[in-house]
Amino acid sequence: MGWTIVGNPPAPVKNCIFLEAPHTSLWDFIIGYLYYRSGGGKLRIMVKKEMFFFPLGLILRAMGAFPVDRKNARHTVLSIIREMESSDKPFHLAMCPEGTRKPIRKWKTGYHVIAREVKIPVFITYVDWGRKRVGIHSEVELTDDARKDTDRIQQIYKELGVKGKHPENFLTE
Least confident among 27-36, 68-77, 163-172: 68-77
C-alpha 94, offset from chain centre: 3
170 within 8 A of 129, measured Cβ to Cβ: no
Sequence-distant (6+) residues with CB within 8 A of 72 are: none
CA distance 21 to 105: 13
- Do β-strands 65-68 and 43-48 pair in parallel, antiparallel, or remain unpaired? parallel
107 within 8 A of 22, measured Cβ to Cβ: no
- pLDDT, one tens digit per residue, over 116-134 is 999 999 999 999 999 999 9
- Which residue type, as a one-letter code, is found at position 7? G
Peptide bond into 55 cis (omega under 30): yes
CA distance 169 to 101: 7
pLDDT at 10: 62
DSSP code of residue 50 = G
91 within 8 A of 17, measured Cβ to Cβ: no
CB neighbourhood size of 156 (10 A): 17
Sequence-distant (6+) residues with CB within 8 A of 92 are: 15, 16, 17, 18, 36, 41, 42, 43, 44
CB neighbourhood size of 90 (10 A): 15
- pLDDT of 76 > 70? The answer is yes
- pLDDT of 39 > 80? The answer is no
What is the mean predicted confidence (pLDDT) over 84-108? Answer: 89
